[in-house]
Each structure stands twice: as C-alpha cells, then as structure tokens.
Amino acid sequence: MRIFELQNLNLLKKSLDVYTRQHEAIAKNIANANNPNYKRVNTDFSSELKARLEGVLKTEKAGHIAMPTQVHSKLSEKDAAQKEVDLTREMGALAENQIRFEFASKVLAGNYRLLSQSITGRSQ
C-alpha cells in the first residue's frame, strides 16, 4: 500500500481543487457585478460530478443500486433562472466556499501531520 495514495487524501486534494475553481468563478461574478452585459458563471459542478461518476460507477447485477439518471440541485434551478449577478448571493456563496476550503485544508494538514508523526516517531 502506498501511504500517500490513500483514498481519503486524494478526495481531500480533489475537493480543494474544486473549491479553488468555485472561488475563482464566484470572484469573477463579483468583479463583473456592475457590468450589464455580463452573464454569471455557474458554480454548481453537479453536472461535471455526474459525468465523472458515470464512468466509475457500474452495476453488474440486478440487485446493485444504479446511479441516478439525473443529479438534481436546487441551486442549479435558481442559477438557470437567474443570469444576472446578485451580489448578496455571491458573497454568501463565497463565504460558504471559504469555510469548506478551510475545513478540507485543515483535515488534510492533520492527516499529513499524523503521517509525519508516524514516520518520525515523535509528536509535536
């Protein structure tokens, strides 16, 4: 087993990438809030997640639980209906995204700290 290729570490690293992309999209929306011709960038990645999971999740037997045919999000319904930037909503999304990013980074740092302690044999 490779110690740095654990599934939860890879998932945490990928989640940090997603949160970074969401932050960039939200920041772009905020920067262009006063531009009347600007169409907001969607920060709901559920369609991308669905596409990635379809290649991974496969059912082999009739009793297996199948992947839902459509990933549905309340946020995507609102985004489809609203093409203009709502600064209050964007700032709220930015704060939520920041909290998620900080949580994932702290958990990842804690995992690496535990690995370091295991390798060196001493606690800090």
How do residues 60-88 score in pLDDT, each as one tens digit? 666 666 555 544 444 455 544 467 888 89
Confidence at residue 74, expressed as pLDDT on a 0 to 100 scale: 47
Confidence at residue 101, expressed as pLDDT on a 0 to 100 scale: 95
121 phi-psi bin (left φ>0, alpha ψ -120 to 50, beta other): left
Alpha-carbon distance of 97 to 27, in angstroms, equals 11
Confidence at residue 24, expressed as pLDDT on a 0 to 100 scale: 94
Kindly report the average pLDDT of the chain as a whole number: 77
pTM given for the model: 0.65
Confidence at residue 72, expressed as pLDDT on a 0 to 100 scale: 46
Q: Is the pLDDT assigned to residue 109 strictly greater than 90?
A: yes
Higher pLDDT, 90 or 52: 90
Query: Rounded to the nearest 5 degrees, what angle is found at the Cα of 111, between the Cα atoms of 107 and 116?
Result: 145
